[in-house]
Amino acid sequence: MSLRILAIDDSRTMRHLIGAALEPHGYDMHFAEDGVAGMEILPQADPHLVITDINMPRMDGFGVIEAVRATADYACIPILVLTTESGAELKARARASGATGWIVKPFDEEKLRAIIGRTIGA
């Protein structure tokens, strides 16, 4: 079974880098350019894991975390925050919203895959 990941980031370049890091390793990737689009495709993507940026238009990463946690079908799936932000208050807010982990950009591909593997037990 291929593991499905929904990556939400307003940067086309970042979506490409995430895909390039994960797709060759068998992950079934789905992408959205902001939180609103991410929530719209959540049911069809049916992900095992969500990766979200924090700073995005329309709905930011905190909104994504809260919206995913509010859905019956996806309330328990892991959510990793992938952002340039590294402030302790933002990390605490993300944890309080229900984020599973935090990764600071730019990311190392091997570390990203290792964190995903640990997070979803793959």
C-alpha torsion angle, residues 35, 76, 82, 93 (rounded to 10)? 80
For the chain, give the mean pLDDT: 94
For the stretch 13-52, pLDDT in tens is 999 999 999 999 999 999 999 999 999 999 999 999 999 9
Instruction: For the beta carbon of residue 53, count every other beta carbon within 10 angstroms.
Output: 25
pLDDT reported for residue 45: 97
Share of the chain above pLDDT 70, in %: 98
pLDDT band at 1 (very low <50, low <70, confident <90, very high): low
* Full residue range of the structural domain in which residue 66 is found: 4-120
What is the distance between the alpha carbons of residues 107 and 122, in angstroms, rounded to a whole number? Answer: 20
Domain count, the chain: 1
pLDDT reported for residue 121: 78
Q: What is the CATH number of the domain that holds 49?
A: 3.40.50.2300
